[in-house]
Homo-oligomer: A and B are copies of this chain.
Amino acid sequence: MNELKHRILTAVKADLADIEAALTANLTPEVDFVSRVAEHILFSGGKRLRPLLMVLCARMCEYRGSYAATFSIIFEYLHVATLLHDDLVDDASHRRGRPAAHTLWGRETAVLAGDFLLARSLSIASRTHDMRIIQTIADITENMAQGEIHQIQKKGDITLSETEYRDVIRRKTAVLFQGACRVSAFLANAPEIQEKALADYGYHLGMAFQMTDDLLDYIQDSQTLGKICGADLREGKLTLPVIHALNTATPSDRSVMIQIIQNPCFSEAEFQHLVGLLYQYGAIAYTRNCSDGHVQAAKTALMVFDHSSSRDILLKIADYAVKRES
């Protein structure tokens, strides 16, 4: 797995450097303080996956201009804006091992720094003078807010269906991946068949990525160290493994699970018991199958493109999305 990660990172090293430079260059508002808050979270070890997708997709569409890195950071800013607001929403104390912005500068600054990044994303998008790009950004921001709200509204609701879950993760995660990929086709003036293919690739990659995230929250600590599992459940977020298990368990196991789910202070032993039930009812395998299915669909979508090193990396990224361990 580290081998795959290493090969991807080596291949995109120059692109990542361009993206980092653009992230900094576009953080120069007149109010320095905004930069400091935004930088704290922007430069705390994010994978830059979303801008990277845009840059690679643009290259695959034979984009020859020099704005890909600049426009790509829209997708990192949007992502980080939602992280700033989410940390506040979840009252998280840490993000990627560093204190969350709102604990350092207060809730107010975290909210407003998120607003600033949203606004700056829009400004950068409007510089493209391409209505399709602007419309895509508008759609993404609306969907992300609605997805997050839907998730909060359904907190702790054990009747959440798999269909609702899929709709939530589509809005809160997949739409941003999809937008990052699709926008590159607009930027490159690629034919519609390529635009559609990239939108499909991004959508399926985003779904697989989120399902894997949701899965890792249950099974990660058995493989890697240093991260606490069960965070989603503690916040009342029901994700696919639990939804599937609730649907397939016997009535008595179902009530055991519900008891654990509805007590946010569940013990480690209770959590491990729940994870055991997830395995027993095939919910872990089911979730993995679903995310694998999305990865296959993502890779298939890329087949409308000729072979290229960019396509090769995008295929590897799809594999990595579900095989990663953190």
Contact = CB atoms under 8 A, between A and B. Distances in A.
A153 B123 contact: no
A40 interface: no
Interface residues of A, number: 44
A61 B46 CA distance: 49
Contacts of A122: 122, 134, 137-138, 141-142
Contacts of A107: 88-89, 107
A67 interface: no
B152 A112 contact: yes
A34 B149 contact: yes
Interface string A144-170: 111011101100000000000000000
A120 interface: yes
Interface string A18-34: 00000000000111011
B129 A142 contact: no
A169 to B, nearest CB: 14
Interface in A147-201: 148-150, 152-153
A118 interface: yes
B31 A150 contact: yes
Nearest to A118: B118
Contacts of A120: 142
Contacts of A89: 107-108, 111-112
Contacts of A135: 123, 126
A229 interface: no
Contacts of A325: none
Nearest to A146: B31
Nearest to A150: B31
Contacts of A271: none
Given A34-B146, A122-B137, A134-B126, A88 B115 contact: no
B131 A119 contact: no
A139 interface: yes
A116 interface: yes
A116 B146 contact: yes
A88 B116 contact: no
A170 to B, nearest CB: 12
A131 B30 CA distance: 24
A109 interface: yes
A146 B30 contact: yes
A231 to B, nearest CB: 16
A150 B32 CA distance: 9
Given A108-B152, A116-B145, A122-B141, 5 more contacts: A85-B115, A88-B107, A113-B145, A118-B118, A122-B134
Which 4 residue pairs are nearest across A and B when measured between Cβ atoms?
A119-B141, A89-B108, A116-B145, A119-B142
11 contacts: A85-B111, A90-B108, A109-B152, A115-B118, A116-B146, A118-B141, A119-B138, A119-B145, A122-B141, A126-B131, A126-B134
